């Protein structure tokens, strides 16, 4: 490109300068072909150098940047990040910014594709396990185990448990889908946090007792009503407490706490002294099907979607899930809800 463009410009300058000089000399009454040629050659050479330095070099940068973008290679994109200047600099800056946008979009597409593959693989695995178990128990019964009352009863119980696991998986997937698409809307109203936390603790007390886990709550009597979708917040707390029970060893303790937070909010926590979470696992906690301890969670009948549902419900409330944990010492999951105003309580 450099030779072609610079040569064309030089030839044009040579021609123009030669004609102009010849005309000028003719008017003055004298004519020298050598003088005309000398002026034209010097002008053309100067134009060639100037074009190469001021124009061609930058056009080559723009062309090379576009070539890299076309090949989905963005390693050297910063070379085109020129300062604002003339029209050509501004054009190259636009190429650079276009490359930035495309790089970001390609990264997002690759991330989504990887997530899709992982999601499909996880769903397939989660479905296969109970399906194979149900089929295996059913075939065993068909092959003669029905005649043994004790065995047949045990196998039917296992079939029912695995069918329940499939039903829970389908329910949780449907729940996440509705929350993501906005089909499941949040209806925020004032509600009594003391009553709700008491209901959650009472409903899960028997499950905790089966592992000799002490499940308690600490909520001040004077705690003010909060704003939120009470059934959804109950679901959040149930998932958090149920998760704590799964990952707390026999004889442990779990506490549900509520206390005044910052800027007119109430802070709610579910704290346990369980196995804890490794620092490298913390960023992935709310991913679908992610489990800190896969064998323990599956044995307890979890779908691996509980914390993902929690994240989506809290996001619909414009809140986030906070997690603090140390391996071997336990975990603390928390979130905030706004305090209901007097007017909101009266209107309810």
pLDDT tens profile 204-243: 999 999 999 999 999 998 899 999 999 999 999 999 999 9
Closest CA to 166 of 131, 119, 125, 122: 131
pLDDT for 12: 47
For domain 189-347, give the fold. Heat Shock Protein 90 (3.30.565)
Q: pLDDT, tens digit, for every residue of 310-345? A: 998 999 899 999 999 999 899 999 999 999 887 777
How many Cα neighbours within 13 Å face the side chain of 272?
A: 27
Rounded to 5 degrees, what are φ and ψ at 342?
Answer: -60, -40
User: Model confidence at 27, in pLDDT bands (50, 70, 90)?
Assistant: very low
The span from the CA of 293 to the CA of 275, in Å, is 9
pLDDT digits 0-9 by tens, 114-163 = 666 666 666 776 778 788 888 888 888 888 777 777 778 888 888 888 88
**Packed helices 306-316 and 149-181: angle between N→C axes, nearest 10 degrees:** 30
Residues 6+ apart with CB under 8 A from 205: 215
Q: What pLDDT, on a 0 to 100 scale, did the predictor assign at position 133?
A: 86
Q: Return the pLDDT at 84.
A: 67
Instruction: Please report which confidence band the pLDDT of residue 21 belongs to, taking 50, 70 and 90 as the band edges.
Output: low
* Cα-trace Rg, the chain: 36
Mean pLDDT of the chain: 78
Tell me the domain boundaries of the chain.
Answer: 2-105, 189-347
Q: What is the pLDDT of residues 259-301, one digit of tens each?
A: 998 888 999 999 999 999 998 888 888 887 777 765 555 555 5
Average pLDDT of the segment spanning 82-107: 75
């Amino acid at each position: 490109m450099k030779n072609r463009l610079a040569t064309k410009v030089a030839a044009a300058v040579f021609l123009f300068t030669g004609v102009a000089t010849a005309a000028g000399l003719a008017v003055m009454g004298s004519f020298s072909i050598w003088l005309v040629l000398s002026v034209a050659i010097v002008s053309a050479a100067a134009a060639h150098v100037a074009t190469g330095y001021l124009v061609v070099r930058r056009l080559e940068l723009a062309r090379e940047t576009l070539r890299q973008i076309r090949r989905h290679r963005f390693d050297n994109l910063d070379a085109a990040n020129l300062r604002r200047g003339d029209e050509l600099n501004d054009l190259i800056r636009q190429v650079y910014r276009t490359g930035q946008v495309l790089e970001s979009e390609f990264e997002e597409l690759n991330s989504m594709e990887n997530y899709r593959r992982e999601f499909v693989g996880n769903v397939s695995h989660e479905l296969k396990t109970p399906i194979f178990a149900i089929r295996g128990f059913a075939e065993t019964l068909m092959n003669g185990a029905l005649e043994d009352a004790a065995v047949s009863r045990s196998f039917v119980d296992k079939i029912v448990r695995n069918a329940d696991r499939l039903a829970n998986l389908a329910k949780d997937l449907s729940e996440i889908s509705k929350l993501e698409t906005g089909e499941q809307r949040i209806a925020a109203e004032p509600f009594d946090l003391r009553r709700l936390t008491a209901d959650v603790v009472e409903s899960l007390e028997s499950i905790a007792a089966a592992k000799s886990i002490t499940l308690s709550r600490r909520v001040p009597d004077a705690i003010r009503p909060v704003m939120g979708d009470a059934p959804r917040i109950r679901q959040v707390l149930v998932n958090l407490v149920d998760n704590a029970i799964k990952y707390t060893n026999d004889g442990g303790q779990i506490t549900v706490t509520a206390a005044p937070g910052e800027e007119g909010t109430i802070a709610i926590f579910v704290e346990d002294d369980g196995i804890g979470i490794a620092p490298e696992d913390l960023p992935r906690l709310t991913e679908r099907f992610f489990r800190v301890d896969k064998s323990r969670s599956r044995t307890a009948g979890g779908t691996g979607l509980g914390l993902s549902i929690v994240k989506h419900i809290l996001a619909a409330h414009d809140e986030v899930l906070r997690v603090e944990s140390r391996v071997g010492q336990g975990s603390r999951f928390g979130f905030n809800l706004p305090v209901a105003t007097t007017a909101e309580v009266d209107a309810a």
